Amino acid sequence: MTSGRPALCRLFQILAAPVPCRLLLIVTAATLFAQQSPIPTDRLARAREILVERDNRLPDYTCVQTLDRRYLNPKHKHGPAPACGQGLSSGPAGLVLQATDRLRLDLKVSQGVEIGSWAGSQFDSRSIFDLVGGGPYGTGMLGALISDTFVKGGATYRYIGEEINDGTRLCAYSYQVPALASHYQVRSGSAWTPVAFSGSFWLDAESLELKRLTAQSKGLPPESGACESATTVDYQKLAAGNGAYLLPRQSSTQIAMQDGTETEMTAVYSGCREYRGEATIRFDEAPADGGAKAAAAPAAPLAAGLELSIALTEPIDTDTAAAGDIVNAKIRKPVRDRKSKAVMVPAGAAVQARIVQMQHWLMDPPRFVISIALEKLEEGGAWRPLYAKAESRATVNVADVDQGTLVAEPGSTIMVVPPKGQPPQLGAFLFPTEKSHYRVPAGYASDWTTIEPPSPQNK
């Protein structure tokens, strides 16, 4: 999971052979300088003061997180799974990459609490773990990890030494956080269990800025199905509000499971800014304000049972697309009432959908799986919510034939199973290919049928 600790650079070396006087003079001067530099405890204390002070005045803020996940399986599936305690793999030996997926989320931190939404959408009451559905996910890189390590006061430290990385002199420390002081929690069954963790961190020797932090936890609860996890976070200083704050630039996490499989997650954080919305997010309806003008009621969804044929107005590129991205489309032909045949929606009306799953399977057989959910329809210059499910019979496009890949043979049926935690009103589209890249062209068509709006708990 880690990207590797910077290689140790020895600043001084004891020389057995005689050396010229000028070299002895340089070494002596350097030694005196080292003796006059701040001692490790003082540096750590000052760095901690900086982190605590920033934590106390950190405003609410948001970042865009782009998360790439890699799923690795043992090359040889026969025989018993390796027992926990053998450690995380340091490379591909013994493991083969089976699948990848990508997510893009808006993350918001308010008073140490981290919540999420699909990129560009509103925050709501759903847990971020319910939002992303299946697959591993972790929170805390935006605040809780630093808080447990430096702010809460439960950690113990050891000085490792000085290192050089990309020309910057760094002070390296190790630390341990016991379970009683830990907010590092692992889901085991339906409960969350705090676990102890340890790791290392690197401070800029001059500015005392935190540059990198690692966290590793072994002996995870058996009910979790995991053996151990390891995380590395690289930090950057960014302006937010009236000050500069330490925020993650990227993180990587590696998780070893009891069945011998491993997952690697790499997250990149961008667009971090102060959140200038409500100071407190409300999930209930605000009381009516006698002096405020009531907001216009949103247009009602379309009636259930209408047949829609939509086409993409822009391509989907698997090299860059992620779950959470908006997809634009349009109505291909007029939508008519089944009984009266009256036109309910004209051809060309804009449709907005969202990718909720972007997977690439490298075997059994190799394929891309892209799941999307329709969200809203433009009518008369206004948007109205759109609830529909994809028809299981696939549509074959000429553009697909030109790319040498068919979604499905004519007349075949694709069984659509939504990702865990995702609503049932989505379409899962399969693109069999042995290539590492696929581009779903503009004009790609699919058929849908409108449904009743789901109950609030199933949205």
The tally of CA atoms less than 13 A away on the side-chain side of residue 299 is: 15
Burial class of residue 114, CB neighbours in 10 A (0-12, 13-18, 19+): middle
Taking only the tens place, the pLDDT of each residue in 208-248 is 999 999 999 987 888 888 899 999 999 988 876 667 778 88
Burial class of residue 144, CB neighbours in 10 A (0-12, 13-18, 19+): buried
Tell me the helix, strand and coil percentages in the chain, rounded to 5.
Answer: 15, 40, 45
Region label for 273, one of left (φ > 0), alpha (ψ between -120 and 50) or beta (otherwise): beta
Q: Which residue type is seen at 388?
A: A
- Asked whether 307 and 447 are in contact (CB, 8 A), the reply is yes
Q: Which residue type is seen at 117?
A: S
Taking the chain (459 residues) in consecutive chunks of 10 residues, what is each chunk's mean pLDDT?
34 30 32 52 92 81 92 77 65 79 90 82 80 79 84 90 91 94 78 88 94 91 87 86 79 90 93 65 37 55 91 96 96 92 93 94 90 90 90 47 37 48 74 92 93 71
Report the C-alpha gap between 134 and 420 in whole angstroms: 5
Strands 262-274 and 316-317: unpaired
Q: The pTM is what?
A: 0.78
What domains can you pick out in the chain, each with its CATH number?
41-274 (2.50.20), 307-454 (2.40.128)
Report the C-alpha gap between 317 and 291 in whole angstroms: 48
Backbone phi and psi for residue 224, each to the nearest 5 degrees, phi listed first:
-75, -20
